[in-house]
Amino acid sequence: MRKGFMDKLESRLMPIAEYVSKNKYLISIRDGFLISMPLLVVGSIFMLISNFPVQPWIDLLKNTTLAGTSIASYFSNVTNATFSIMAIFVVIGIGYNYAKQENTNMIFGAAIAVLSWFMLMPFTTMYTPEGASKAVQVTSIPLDWVGSKGIFIGILCAFLSVKIYKWVEDKGWTIKMPNGVPPTVGQSFAALFPIGAVVVVFFFIRVLFTLTPWGNAFDFIYKILQMPLQKVGDSLGAMMGIYLFAHILWFFGIHGTNITDSVFRPILYALSAENLAALQAGKPLPHIINTQFQDLFATYGGAGSTLSLLIAMFFFCRSKRIKELGRIAIIPGIFGINEPIIFGLPIVLNPTIAIPFIIVPMINILVSYITMAIGMVPVCNGVIMPWTTPPIISGFLSSGWQGALLQVFLIALGVVIYYPFIKTIDKQYIRDEAEVENNPKDDDISLDDLTF
């Protein structure tokens, strides 16, 4: 009966996972965001140094000046050059990767994605001069729209512009240069009409939006699409539902978080960026759910929060197989790498360990959310760290000593939950090992034994 249920569940989930993992748009979003990742991590390091949670250090950076500018401002320049313009990197990355999926020129894909996005952007900001009572409109590139607020419309622009470019290219409406012309020159002329078509389409889109109550496409997308999506993503139910789905996929050997991140991570990035902006402005952090919440407090040691399982294996199991696997896997596990235990124990398609593998991350999310909501633990500050940052260190840098303490508590709680399940497997392995010792067999395979 259990096998029948598993087969039925697998038959329902596999088509969904396969569709998501092969979807061009989702792959482009996932890989496009990866381009911005190293830039944001570097920016975060500077942000972390300038806001390290020790007040005398923060005061020192603010009060020490160099050529009339505080040291803290120099650090902020790096943060502004990464976080404040993060949407530009994302649009470039998605345009490039979607062009790759469509088998067209990737460089021009990235270029027209940015071109079309800027064509729809309102180049004005409101500024109140010193001593004035009214704000005036100033022609400029608004930092709001090139930061997290402009990501969603950037994604749409990247897809639409590359789609138009590819359509014109497939129609053969390109300039073909004679043989002997350098390939780069030939590619430039071949791109002329497709880029022209993209510009014409986005020209009319911009004109159409000026006739609407919103005045421009950025305000329309932000208010109609991005804000509702962020509200859904910024909820405990959404986070737990997505992690439940991801871990069921993991159980069947599919990289679940890799699939769900394609959809969910853009929302988390936007929420993190708003937290970071609030931190810089000295305001309360608005979002509990964000990238750091997922990376630092949902799981420890990778999917299933298997660092807790490894600790239980390392200290409480007696079978040679499990103890050896625990010794091998615990160091990678501290840095969030758990493939050795996922496939080595194994966890995949192992119903004995499925229950704690799925519920431990759920409990981590629930406890972390509650402790942050009631103020016991500070909300994550928006500083992005590499996902390999070990727990306790990551918790301290993101949410102070309370965050580090919460991580210790959740890892220990995970050990308690995993313990009876891994001990069941341990007893089975001990019996298997004893049987092999009592009834040794010659399992060596020799080519001399083969006959043809």
Listed in sequence order, the residues at least 6 apart from 318 whose beta carbon sits closer than 8 Å to its beta carbon are 426, 430
pLDDT computed for residue 447 by the predictor: 46
Share of the chain residues as helix, strand and coil, in percent rounded to the nearest 5: 70, 5, 25
pLDDT computed for residue 452 by the predictor: 44
- CB count in 10 Å sphere of residue 399: 27
Amino acid identity at 95: G
Amino acid identity at 436: V
Amino acid identity at 344: G
Determine contact, residues 32/97, Cβ cutoff 8 Å: yes
Cα–Cα distances in angstroms (integers) from residue 104 to residues 93, 177, 201, 284, in the given order: 15, 18, 19, 45
d(CA 263, CA 33): 11
Determine contact, residues 183/126, Cβ cutoff 8 Å: no
pLDDT computed for residue 450 by the predictor: 47
d(CA 148, CA 278): 13
pLDDT computed for residue 302 by the predictor: 84
d(CA 51, CA 389): 18
Determine contact, residues 26/18, Cβ cutoff 8 Å: no
pLDDT computed for residue 326 by the predictor: 84
Residue the block writes with tokens 């790759």: 100
d(CA 112, CA 105): 11
- Residue 450: CA atoms inside 13 Å, Cβ hemisphere, count? 5
Walk along the chain (452 residues) and give the pLDDT tens digit of each residue.
Answer: 455 655 665 666 666 666 766 788 888 887 887 787 778 778 777 877 877 767 788 788 888 888 888 888 888 888 788 878 888 998 999 999 999 999 999 999 999 999 999 999 998 887 777 777 778 888 888 888 898 788 889 999 999 999 999 999 999 988 887 777 777 788 888 899 999 999 999 999 999 999 998 889 999 988 887 778 777 778 898 889 888 888 888 887 677 776 777 678 778 877 887 887 787 777 888 889 988 888 889 999 888 899 999 999 988 988 888 888 888 888 888 888 787 788 778 887 788 888 899 999 999 999 999 999 999 999 987 777 776 788 998 888 888 899 999 999 999 999 999 999 999 888 888 888 888 777 766 555 554 554 44
Nearest 10 degrees: CA dihedral of 378, 293, 91, 150? -40
Rounded to 10°, the helix 55-63/71-80 angle is 100
Residue 101: name the closest of 31, 38, 155 by CA. Answer: 31
Distance of CA 315 to the CA centre of its chain: 33
Residue the block writes with tokens 């979807």: 23
d(CA 347, CA 294): 22
pLDDT computed for residue 142 by the predictor: 86
Residue 245: name the closest of 171, 322, 161, 303 by CA. Answer: 303
Please report the DSSP string for 247-309 in residue order.
Answer: HHHHHTTS-HHHHHHHHHHHHHHHHHHHHHHHHHTTPPP--SSSHHIIIIII-SSSGGGHHHH
Amino acid identity at 96: Y
Whole-prediction pTM value? Answer: 0.71
DSSP H or E stretch at residue 139? strand 136-139
Cα–Cα distances in angstroms (integers) from residue 144 to residues 107, 202, 236, 418, in the given order: 26, 21, 27, 45
Where are the alpha helices (H) located in 23-85, listed in sequence order? 24-50, 55-63, 71-80
The DSSP bridge pattern shows strands 136-139 and 65-66 to be unpaired
pLDDT computed for residue 413 by the predictor: 95
Rg of the chain (C-alpha set): 27
Listed in sequence order, the residues at least 6 apart from 97 whose beta carbon sits closer than 8 Å to its beta carbon are 27, 28, 31, 32, 106
Determine contact, residues 121/141, Cβ cutoff 8 Å: yes
Determine contact, residues 292/384, Cβ cutoff 8 Å: yes
Q: Which two tokens stand for residue 355?
A: 């229950």
Determine contact, residues 141/114, Cβ cutoff 8 Å: no
Amino acid identity at 267: I
pLDDT computed for residue 204 by the predictor: 96
Count how many residues are written for the chain. Answer: 452
| Burial tier of 430 (Cβ tally within 10 Å: 0-12, 13-18, 19+) | middle
